[in-house]
Structure 1
C-alpha cells in the first residue's frame, strides 16, 4: 500500500477458527498452497481484473477511503471488476490520526453505500493504520476503537487491522489484539507483533508483478485453505 505518510502500512484481521497454523512458515517463492491475493488502490491505475483472475489469484483488498474526506477514485471500478470476475474482495480504510474515529467509520460506510454495495460475502473490512506521529499516540487509541466498533455494528462483521511488527510493537504493544492480523512483513517467514498468536493474512511483498496490473503491487497470502478463506466472509450487509 502506498499512502501519503510514505511509511509501511498496518491492518488487522479477524482470526478464523481452524486456520492452518503450520502455514505460518510458508515461503515467499510462490510454492505455497495457500490462497494468494493482492491489495490495490488508485496507485495501480486501471486493473484488468479478468487477467488477474486468470493469473490464479483468489482474493483482493481494495482501498475505499481515507480519513473523513478522501475517497479512492478507483474504488467503484475495482470493486465491480473483482466482483464480476468472482474474486473474494474486501474494502479497507486508511486511518487518519487527525480525525474522529466515528466520523471516519461513517465516511468509509458512506463509500460502500454510495456504490450500493451489499457487504454480504465480502472479506472482513480492514483498517489500515500507518505509523503515527508520537504526539498523537494517546489520542489515536479511542478513535481506532471507535472505527472498529462502529463498522462492526453497521456491517455485522468484525473488522481486521493491518500492521508491521516493528511499528505496532513500538506504538500499540498488546492493543487491539482481539482483532485478527493482516501482517505486513517482507521477510521469508513472518514475525508476529506482540499479542498475536497467528496471522490471518500476510502481505509478504510490495513488488509483485501480475498481468493486468500496471507497475508493482502488494502480494498477500491467506493462512489457511480456500474453503477456510470462504468461511471468514461477512454474513450480513449494510443497512
Structure 2
C-alpha cells in the first residue's frame, strides 16, 4: 500500500503543469541592454542560447546611448536578431519629436528578417511625477503621436514596453493600442500576470532584471520562425 501511494504521488508530481515562465522558456530567449552593461561579449551571449536583443538608442531628445553603435554592430555580427528602444520623456517634447529623434539615431526598421521594430519604453518617470505631469488622455495622445509618426516613416508600429501598473495609472488602462502595437511587458515573476487592457497576450516578456546574461532577461512568445516574422 505504501508503494502504491508513493507511485500515485510520483505520477501526480510528474504530471503537474509547468509554471508559465518554464513553459515560455521554450521560446527564444533575449536580453535588453544599454551603456550600463559596459562592454559585452556577444559571442558568449550567443553561446548561452540568446536569440535576440533590444538595445537602448535614445532618451527624450537630448540623449543618445554612447554604446549603441558598438552594441548594435556586435549583436549583428554575432548573428542575433536585434532592435533599438527609446526611453520616453513625455514631459519634454511631443511624441512625434521623440519618434523622429529615435529614428535619426538608430531606431529605424528594415525588412531584412533580423531587425525588430523599434520599441517605445514608456514607464515610471525616473526623476519626477510618475506620469510626467500628463493626464491619462494627454498620455494616450502622446503615445499615439509617437506611434503614428514611427509607423508613417517605417511602415511598422513600434513595440510598446511598459508595466501593467504604470499603464493603468498613467493611461487610464487604455486599450487603444492593442490592435497595432506589439506588447513587451515587464513583470518579474514566474507568472506574467494581468496584462494592460486590450492585449490578450504579450509578444515579449521581460521576466527578470538580472540573470545569466547581461541586462534584463526576456523571452519571445513564439518560436524562432515567429521571431523572424
Normalising to structure 2: TM-score of the pair?
Answer: 0.80
Q: Secondary structure at the match of 1:76?
A: helix
Partner of 1:92: 85
Q: Name the SS for the 2:209 alignment partner.
A: strand
Bigger helix fraction: 2
Which of 209, 212, 227 is the matching residue for 1:209? 212
| CA apart distance, 1:162 | 0.6
Mark the structure with the bigger radius of gyration: 2
| Partner Cα distance (2:140, 2:150) in 1 | 16
Secondary structure of the residue that 1:62 maps to in structure 2? strand
Match of 2:103 in 1: 109
Unmatched segments (≥5 aa) in structure 2: 1-18
Deviation of 1:131 (Å): 2.4
Aligned counterpart, 1:182: 184
TM-score by length of 1: 0.77
Supply the RMSD in Å over aligned alpha carbons: 2.1
Deviation at residue 147 of structure 1 after TM alignment? 1.0
Equivalence for 1:32: 25
- Structure with more contact order per residue of length (Cα contacts < 8 Å, sep ≥ 6): 1
Displacement of 1:31 in angstroms is: 7.9
Aligned to 1:17: none
Q: CA deviation at 1:206?
A: 0.2
What is the rounded CA distance, in whole Å, between the counterparts of 1:200 and 1:71 in structure 2? 26
Question: Structure 1: which 5+ runs fail to align?
Answer: 1-24, 232-239
Task: Determine whether 1:53 maps to 2:54.
Answer: no
Q: How many residues align?
A: 199
**CA displacement at 1:33 relative to structure 2:** 1.2
